[in-house]
């Protein structure tokens, strides 16, 4: 399973939000490029960037910082936030970004998702950010009536490469991933799922390994890396590809303590 460090960009800085609330942001580093180099040096095989300004404004904002990160490291970078038209997506790929993550347009303009999947095969993912099972849009500022599972199935039919699932109520809270929601999603999909939101410890990461055979192939880790609750190098050693086979099926939190 891939462990993917997250770098959330707000006003050109590396921040973390609490449950997606822009009013509850904490700056962890003024230099996101420095952070990217650190995660790459510790063994990350991919980085996850979120343009929070872009998500709020509906168009990419932190392009200069994104380009600097891509040029500073040699591992693939995936980017989401404010990607609501083809030129914005194409611009990211021109900067060297490996994968674009669509969000709001998956709900509001699925035909664009289909168009982009045809134009950039294997490079389009959809981020499904949910509150109580319903999809949030426009930088998590609005909640639709669309069910996360239904949207994921629709996007899979359109040809997206992966689904990135975030439980907003868990994001930035260090309260653990939503295993039930991830399992339900995996039972309805045949494309890879990347879990996001709530990871607080190596125990949480090990617990996700039980979902790897179902198609949860990666996990995005944000706040726990910045607080030191998760050591990236240790996490990468612990849950590398195939390691789920070494975990007893009845392993629970107490066994990992």
Parallel/antiparallel/unpaired status of strands 142-147 and 134-137 = antiparallel
Q: Do residues 49 and 39 touch, judged by C-beta distance below 8 A?
A: no
Q: For this structure, is 11 an active site residue?
A: no
Whole-angstrom Cα distance, residue 244 to residue 257? 17
Helices (H), 4-51: 32-41
Q: 162: which 2 tokens? A: 């992966």
User: Annotated catalytic residue: which of 51, 53, 129, 204?
Assistant: 129
Look up residue 219 and give its two tokens: 């996990």
Long-range contacts at 61-64 (CB < 8 A, ≥ 24 apart): 62/9, 62/12, 63/91, 63/92, 63/95, 64/12
Task: Identify whether the C-beta of residue 48 lies closer than 8 Å to the C-beta of residue 197.
Answer: no
Q: 129 catalytic, yes or no?
A: yes
**Of the listed 8, 167, 171, 204, which one is catalytic?**
8
Facing residues of 77 across strands?
47
CA 67-100-69 angle, to 5 degrees, is 20
Active site residues: 8, 129
């Amino acid at each position: 399973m891939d462990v993917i460090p997250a770098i959330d960009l707000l006003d050109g800085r590396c921040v973390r939000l609490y449950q997606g609330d822009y009013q509850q942001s904490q700056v962890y580093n003024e230099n996101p490029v420095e952070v990217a180099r650190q995660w790459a040096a510790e063994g990350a095989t991919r980085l996850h960037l979120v343009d929070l300004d872009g998500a709020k404004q509906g168009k990419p904002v932190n392009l200069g910082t994104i380009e600097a990160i891509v040029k500073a490291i040699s591992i693939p970078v995936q980017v989401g936030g404010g990607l609501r038209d083809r030129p914005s997506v194409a611009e990211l790929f021109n900067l060297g970004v490996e994968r674009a993550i669509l969000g709001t347009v998956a709900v509001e303009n699925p035909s664009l998702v289909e168009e982009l999947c045809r134009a950039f095969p294997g490079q389009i993912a959809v981020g499904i950010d949910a509150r109580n099972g319903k999809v949030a849009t426009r930088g998590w500022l609005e909640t639709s009536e669309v069910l996360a599972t239904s949207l994921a199935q629709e996007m899979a039919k359109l040809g997206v490469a992966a689904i990135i699932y975030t439980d907003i109520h868990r994001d930035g809270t260090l309260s653990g991933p939503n295993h039930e929601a991830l399992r339900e999603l995996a039972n309805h999909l045949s494309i890879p799922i990347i879990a996001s939101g709530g990871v607080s410890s190596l125990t949480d990461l090990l617990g996700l390994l039980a979902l790897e055979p179902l198609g949860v192939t990666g996990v995005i880790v944000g706040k726990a890396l910045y607080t030191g609750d998760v050591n990236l190098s240790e996490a990468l050693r612990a849950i590398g590809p195939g390691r789920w086979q070494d975990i007893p099926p009845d392993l629970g939190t107490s066994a990992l303590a």
